[in-house]
Structure 1
Amino acid sequence: MPNTPEHPCRITLGDEGPLLVEGPVEVTCADGSVAVSERFVVALCMCRRSRMYPWCDTSHRRRTKPGEGPHRSAG
């Protein structure tokens, strides 16, 4: 469905995550390559850590090693 004034493309910005775009979409990357998705919502990588760039693979999430989480007091 093409975008119209009655049905504009909706883009959702998150604080630390991907850009969510209502699909289907066609993305032209800086190198000129084109990525296409027919999904109803796509997550576009904003951190460039994704191995599936331009699609988000959640690489932006902060990762912790076991035992590095919040400290809990005993007792």
Structure 2
Amino acid sequence: MEGPVEIVLDDGTVARSDRFVVAMCTCRRSRTYPWCDTSHRPRARAAAPNPEEGTAS
């Protein structure tokens, strides 16, 4: 949504963002809730090493 934005949370506190564009979190995984920090995205795992690679012939 376009900013600035004020949101009243469930506990009555007001969260304000002066940014030009604001993304709101709806999954509640964000560390910056109520603002989205993309925590909902799956993280890529490091590839497991291939045991056949790196062996001397």
Which TM-score applies when normalising by structure 2? 0.75
Partner residue in 2 for 1:28: 8
Q: Does 1:50 align with 2:34?
A: no
Q: Identical aligned pairs, as a percentage?
A: 65
RMSD: 1.3
**Runs of 5+ in structure 2 lacking a partner?**
49-57
Task: Deviation per CA, 1:2-30: give whole Å up to 9, x if none.
Answer: xxxxxxxxxxxxxxxxxxx1111001111
Q: Does 1:67 align with 2:47?
A: yes
How far the C-alpha of 1:64 sits from its partner, in A, is 2.5
Which structure has the greater CA radius of gyration? 2
> Which of the pair is proportionally richer in strand?
1
How far the C-alpha of 1:38 sits from its partner, in A, is 1.0
**Runs of 5+ in structure 1 lacking a partner?**
1-20, 69-75
- The ranges of structure 1 where at least 4 consecutive aligned residues each deviate by more than 2 angstroms after the TM superposition are none
